[in-house]
C-alpha cells in the first residue's frame, strides 16, 4: 500500500512538472547569429545561417543589442553592405592579407570575418559585393547569386 501511494505521488509530480515545463513561453531569442559564405558550382556563392542550409537569401530575428558575424570561406572576397535600416556598428574581426587594413565590412581573404551589432529595433537589409576569384580556373554554372540578408531586431 505504501508503495502504491508513493508511486502515485511520484507519478503526479512528474506529470505536473512536464505540464508546467510545456506551458512556459518559448525559448529566448538568441542574441547572436553566424553566417558562413561558401563557393558553390550553381550560383557561385551562398551563405548558411547558424549551420543551416546554404541559400542566397537568409532571414534572422535578434533582440536589440544582438549581433551577426559573417565569415567568408568563399574563393573570392566579399564586402558586407547595409542597404537599409538604422545605423549599425560593423567591425572587421580579421585584417586584410599581410596585416593590411581593409575597409569596413570587407572580408578580403578566405577566413576573414566581420561583425555587425544592432543597437536599435527595426528591419535591416544587407547584401555583399563580391570581388575577384583568388585563383584562376574556378568554375560556376548559371547566374551568380546575389546574397541578401534581412535582420529583424525587436
**pTM of the predicted model as reported, rounded to 2 decimal places:** 0.76
**Domain coordinates of the chain in residue numbers?**
32-153
Q: Which of 154, 146, 82 is nearest to 114 (CA)?
A: 82
pLDDT score at 134:
60
What is the b/e burial string over 66-78, where b = at least 16 CB atoms within 10 angstroms of the residue's CB? bbbbbbbbbbbbb
For the domain bounded by 32-153, which CATH number is listed? 2.60.40.420
pLDDT score at 71:
96
pLDDT along the chain (154 residues), means of 10: 45 41 52 95 91 97 98 93 98 66 84 96 97 70 91 98
pLDDT score at 80:
97
Amino acid at each position: 500500500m505504501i508503495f502504491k501511494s508513493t508511486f502515485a505521488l511520484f507519478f503526479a509530480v512528474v506529470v505536473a512538472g512536464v505540464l508546467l515545463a510545456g506551458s512556459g513561453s518559448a525559448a529566448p531569442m538568441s542574441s547572436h547569429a553566424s553566417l558562413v559564405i561558401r563557393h558553390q558550382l550553381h550560383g557561385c556563392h551562398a551563405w548558411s545561417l547558424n549551420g543551416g542550409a546554404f541559400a542566397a537569401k537568409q532571414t534572422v530575428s535578434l533582440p536589440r543589442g544582438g549581433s551577426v558575424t559573417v565569415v567568408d570561406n568563399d574563393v573570392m572576397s566579399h564586402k558586407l553592405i547595409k542597404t537599409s535600416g538604422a545605423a549599425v556598428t560593423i567591425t572587421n574581426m580579421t585584417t586584410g592579407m599581410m596585416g593590411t587594413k581593409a575597409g569596413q565590412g570587407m572580408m578580403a581573404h578566405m577566413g576573414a570575418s566581420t561583425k555587425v551589432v544592432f543597437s536599435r529595433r527595426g528591419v535591416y537589409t544587407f547584401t555583399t559585393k563580391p570581388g575577384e576569384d583568388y585563383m584562376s580556373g574556378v568554375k560556376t554554372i548559371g547566374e551568380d547569386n546575389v546574397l541578401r540578408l534581412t535582420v529583424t531586431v525587436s
